[in-house]
Amino acid sequence: MLDEMTAEFRDSPPGSDEVTSLFRELVSDPAMPGASFVFVAAWYNLSQTYVPPLCEILSSEKLAAWHEQSVELLGKLANPDSVEALTKSLDYHWEFDEWQNIPRKALHSLKAIGTNEALSVIERARYSKAPEIRQEATQILE
C-alpha cells in the first residue's frame, strides 16, 4: 500500500495546505489513522508551512512515534523557527532510541539551518552527557 501511495504522491502530490492541515490534525489526534502517509506526502511537496505543526509534533511526548520523521523534515526545510524545538529534542530520551538517533539527527538539522543560534546549540552539544551526542556534535563542527 505504501508503494502505491508513494507513486500517487510522486505523480500528483497533495497540496501543502492539505498536508499542513493533516499535520495539525495529527497534533490534536495522536492516534490519527494514516499519519505515516502525511509524512510521505510532505516529502513530495515540501513547504515552510509545515514548520509550526512539525515543531508541535516534536514537542509532544504523545507523538514520540513521529519525532524522527519530524526532525528529518525540519532539517530539509532548514527554517530558523525550528531551532527551539530541535534544541529541546537533544535532551529527549526515548526507550526505542538507544543510539540517540533522534538527537543526532536534530544536530544535523541544526547544521542545515546554519544560523549562529543553531550552530551555538551544536557547540553546546559537544559537552552533552550522552557520548553519542558529544561525538556527533564534534564531527559536525570539524
Q: What is the pLDDT of residue 9?
A: 65
The contacts of residue 82 (CB under 8 Å, 6+ apart) are: 51, 54, 55, 74, 109, 113
- What does the pLDDT look like over 87-96, one tens digit per residue? 999 987 777 7
Structural domain boundaries, residue 126? 2-141
What's the CATH code of the domain at 77? 1.25.10.10
Mapping DSSP onto H, E and C, the string for 78-139 reads: CCHHHHHHHHHHCCCCCCCCCCCHHHHHHHHHHHHHCCHHHHHHHHHHCCCCCHHHHHHHHH
pLDDT average, residue stretch 95-102: 80
Q: What is the pLDDT of residue 54?
A: 98
Q: Residue 81 and residue 137: Cα distance in Å, rounded? A: 20
The pLDDT of residue 134 is above 80 = yes
The contacts of residue 105 (CB under 8 Å, 6+ apart) are: 68, 71, 72, 75
- What does the pLDDT look like over 101-125, one tens digit per residue? 899 999 999 999 999 999 999 999 9
Q: pLDDT grade, residue 83 (50/70/90)?
A: very high
Return the higher-pLDDT residue of 94 and 16: 16
Q: Percent of the chain scored above 90 by pLDDT?
A: 75
- What does the pLDDT look like over 35-58, one tens digit per residue? 998 998 999 899 999 999 999 999
**pLDDT averaged over every residue in the chain:** 91
pLDDT average, residue stretch 50-69: 95
Number of domains the chain is built from? 1
Mapping DSSP onto H, E and C, the string for 39-73 reads: HHHHHHCCCHHHHHHHHHHHCCHHHHHHHHHHHHH
